[in-house]
Structure 1
Amino acid sequence: MSSEKNMEDLNLPGVISIDDAYGRFETDDDGDRDASSSFSVASSAYTFRMEHGRRYHDYKTGSPFPHDEVSDENDYLLHELCLVLLDDRYYLAPIDTSSLNCVVDVGTGLGLWAEGVAERFPESQVVGIDLTPHARSIFPNCSYMLSDASEEWVLDDPTMKFDLAHIRSLFGSVPDWAALYKNCFDNMNPGGWIEHLEIEINAQTDDAEVPADSHIKYLSEFAHTHMTVASGRDFGISFGMKKLIEEAGFVDVQEKRLKVPLGPWASDPKLKEVGRLCERFYKTGLQGWLMHVCTRSLGWTSEQVNEACAKTFQELNNRQQHWYYLAVIVIGRKP
């Protein structure tokens, strides 16, 4: 199957049809729970710290986002969202599975994607790279490496070259994207593919009017105007990753943008489920995405962060707007 066909299979209407019942039914939502409360988390051989009731790790320069039970739930939700959105496919790159010998998952997190690929393709060797230590995989063909992926990769087998490099939802986490893409290129077999998926931080709606006081819209703009500058990490990588992947040396680079409803407002059953997952992903993620950068670099208090989250969730729960984001997928081949 050609890469063009793989990408075109995901075509959706330019305007998503709205479920007429949206806003007139109760939803099973626990998004109002206190996400700032602390959690009992097992100790690690590596250093972690607690700030404002959330747990962060300190390896290298650390991550601006928490690593705790709430972030774990957020990771699970994103994984499920992507599988539904991509019709149960783990990647779109046009790779013959017989040639899928070595795979790397950059920023693997809980390892959900890496272990899913290891299970689905037992003849492939899968390596997950992350700043957070990971327990040994139950799959013998899956292993993990504690490393900053934007620095030189020191693999257990220095001769290993990858056929697929997968990256997903690392906005705001990577200090040097050009270096990361170069590492993917340098550690890849000729003919191998890179695939990067990001949920673009740009809240949009097909509604005729957007409320001037929308907290959802404000925070999506705030991420670009303030958080990127304050953190030195790119919260808008989705807008530039195609160009950076091309500059790293990849060819046949293609980009696909898919609408992801924020909330179960679409009439299409698949998009309704995507929207339900996206809403929960948003609610479990927002406080963690804001807290570190806003309190350490922008002068906010933790109470101000929690108030911003509460107002945003209330707006979302009012079911007055039909918000969506874009899932941006870029694939490219090493010549």
Structure 2
Amino acid sequence: MMSNEQQQPGGDNGPIIIADDFAGLSNHLLQNADDSSPDRATLGLAPPAQPGYKVKRVLDVGTGTGIWCTEFGDEYPDAEASTRPFGCWYRSVSSSNSIVRVPPNVKFEVDDLEEPWTYHTKFDYIHTRVMTSSIADWKRFFKQSYKLASTPRPKANTSPSKSSFLEPGGYIELQEAHMRPNCDDDTLKPTSPLIEWVDRLEEACNIFGRPFINCPSLKPLLEEVGFEGVSVTKYKWPINAWPKDPYYRELGIWNLENMLEGVEGWSMAPFTRALNWTKEEVNVFLISVRNELKNKNVYAYIPVYMIRARKPLKTAEDDEEAS
């Protein structure tokens, strides 16, 4: 589905937060979010994303333009490259942003992550980022990653097989931005255009049954499914270049560019399809939103969470699968 020249997969009730047009900027921000890292650039915090880790198969869920998995494939060129182990599952890739060069160990596949998965191999690492309002049921997604699931047999007239999609000891990592800006002082007013924009966007997502995810709530969901060692790291992305610290100031510069480029794509489909605004009304409203995003007297920031968890080395589900 097309809405204001933004690809909107999934039909009228499909995911409505699409970030393909500025995925490169988001990727740069996330890679540089870790201010404790010596080089402040990372593909993730889970062990499979660290140098020297022996990883075989990786699934990138909701890959957008594919920039993360192509960089991951370059970083791990010897990881069974001949078998194309890196499955990158993506909703949509617009022609203007398609990856020109794909490493030989990266394979793109189009599928619906909310339908039963049909993979016949397991993964060492499942990675996802910025999927709020794209995944309607996070617990179900975690179960599909962790537990046994019925998958069709290749041959007709045979009963479904049982398969789990994450190797024992494998990792899942979520990199999510909380959509509602925070502020540690009173410079972001409750009546500000930015707050009104988020309120309206949240209202639209609720109408479509795809609410904003409360990022810290993902930790107990992962634990309930059976993951262990769940850890959460929170970062702050300034909305513009207001910080005095050079590192956070640079993050703010990148984040402002990201949000100015993305705000129309984030807003148009939800506002017109759920709230019945006209395209002209949305564009006029976004003028004040963009102006506030550029206001360096507003000391607001976007909370960003990196959440990683490990599947135990031995589970009852794996015993069932082995039998």
TM-score, normalised with respect to structure 1: 0.77
From the superposition, tell whether residues 123 and 234 of structure 1 become closer, same or farther in structure 2 (CA, over 3 Å).
farther
Helix, strand or coil: the match of 2:178?
A: strand
In the alignment, what sits opposite 2:62?
A: 107
Name the CA distance, whole Å, in 2 between partners of 1:266 and 1:209.
13
1:91 aligns with 2:91: no
Contact map agreement 2:173 2:309 (CA 8 A) in 1: yes
Structure 2 counterpart of 1:114, one-letter code: C
From the superposition, tell whether residues 294 and 208 of structure 1 become closer, same or farther in structure 2 (CA, over 3 Å).
closer
Name the CA distance, whole Å, in 2 between partners of 1:59 and 1:131.
12
In the alignment, what sits opposite 2:86?
A: 126
How far did residue 269 of structure 1 move? 1.9
Q: Over residues 299-325 of structure 1, what are the superposed CA-to-partner deviations in whole Å (9 max), with x where a residue is unaligned?
A: 211122112211111122332211101
Name the CA distance, whole Å, in 2 between partners of 1:137 and 1:184.
29
Structure 1 counterpart of 2:286, one-letter code: C
In the alignment, what sits opposite 1:182?
A: 143
Structure 1 counterpart of 2:195, one-letter code: K
From the superposition, tell whether residues 178 and 119 of structure 1 become closer, same or farther in structure 2 (CA, over 3 Å).
same
Name the CA distance, whole Å, in 1 between partners of 2:139 and 2:47.
24
Structure 2 counterpart of 1:51, one-letter code: S
Helix, strand or coil: the match of 2:181?
A: strand
Structure 1 stretch 54-63 or stretch 170-179: which is displaced more? 54-63
In the alignment, what sits opposite 1:117?
A: 72
In the alignment, what sits opposite 2:103?
A: 139
1:237-248 alignment, distance < 5 Å? 237-248=214-225
In the alignment, what sits opposite 2:160?
A: none
From the superposition, tell whether residues 113 and 221 of structure 1 become closer, same or farther in structure 2 (CA, over 3 Å).
same
Q: Over residues 243-262 of structure 1, what are the superposed CA-to-partner deviations in whole Å (9 max), with x where a residue is unaligned?
A: 22222221111111111111
Q: Over residues 142-185 of structure 1, what are the superposed CA-to-partner deviations in whole Å (9 max), with x where a residue is unaligned?
A: 10111111222223xx1x21111111001111122222212221
From the superposition, tell whether residues 59 and 108 of structure 1 become closer, same or farther in structure 2 (CA, over 3 Å).
farther
Count, aligned residues: 279
Helix, strand or coil: the match of 1:201?
A: coil
Contact map agreement 2:47 2:53 (CA 8 A) in 1: no
Name the CA distance, whole Å, in 2 between partners of 1:307 and 1:280.
19
From the superposition, tell whether residues 223 and 243 of structure 1 become closer, same or farther in structure 2 (CA, over 3 Å).
farther
Q: Over residues 265-296 of structure 1, what are the superposed CA-to-partner deviations in whole Å (9 max), with x where a residue is unaligned?
A: 11222211111111111111111212112211
How far did residue 210 of structure 1 move? 3.3
Q: Over residues 8-51 of structure 1, what are the superposed CA-to-partner deviations in whole Å (9 max), with x where a residue is unaligned?
A: xxxxxxxxxxxxxxxxxxxxxxxxxxxxxxxxxxxxxxxxx433
The percentage of counterpart residues that share the same residue type is: 27
Contact map agreement 2:219 2:307 (CA 8 A) in 1: yes
How far did residue 204 of structure 1 move? 1.5
1:1-335 alignment, distance < 5 Å? 49-57=1-9, 62-65=14-17, 71-86=19-34, 87-95=40-48, 97-124=52-79, 125-132=85-92, 138-155=102-119, 158=120, 160-185=121-146, 186-224=164-202, 226-335=203-312
From the superposition, tell whether residues 131 and 53 of structure 1 become closer, same or farther in structure 2 (CA, over 3 Å).
closer
Structure 2 counterpart of 1:148, one-letter code: D
Structure 1 stretch 295-304 or stretch 124-133: which is displaced more? 124-133
Residue ranges of structure 1 left out of the alignment (5+ in a row) = 1-48
From the superposition, tell whether residues 202 and 56 of structure 1 become closer, same or farther in structure 2 (CA, over 3 Å).
closer
In the alignment, what sits opposite 1:40?
A: none
How far did residue 218 of structure 1 move? 2.2
Name the CA distance, whole Å, in 1 between partners of 2:113 and 2:20.
20
Name the CA distance, whole Å, in 2 between partners of 1:325 and 1:210.
12
From the superposition, tell whether residues 239 and 300 of structure 1 become closer, same or farther in structure 2 (CA, over 3 Å).
farther
Contact map agreement 1:228 1:235 (CA 8 A) in 2: yes
Structure 1 stretch 170-179 or stretch 322-331: which is displaced more? 170-179
Q: Over residues 107-158 of structure 1, what are the superposed CA-to-partner deviations in whole Å (9 max), with x where a residue is unaligned?
A: 0111111111100011233210122267786211110111111222223xx1
Contact map agreement 1:201 1:235 (CA 8 A) in 2: yes
How far did residue 330 of structure 1 move? 1.0
From the superposition, tell whether residues 247 and 60 of structure 1 become closer, same or farther in structure 2 (CA, over 3 Å).
farther
Structure 1 counterpart of 2:91, one-letter code: L
CA RMSD after TM alignment: 2.3
Helix, strand or coil: the match of 1:85?
A: coil
Structure 2 counterpart of 1:177, one-letter code: W
How far did residue 90 of structure 1 move? 0.6
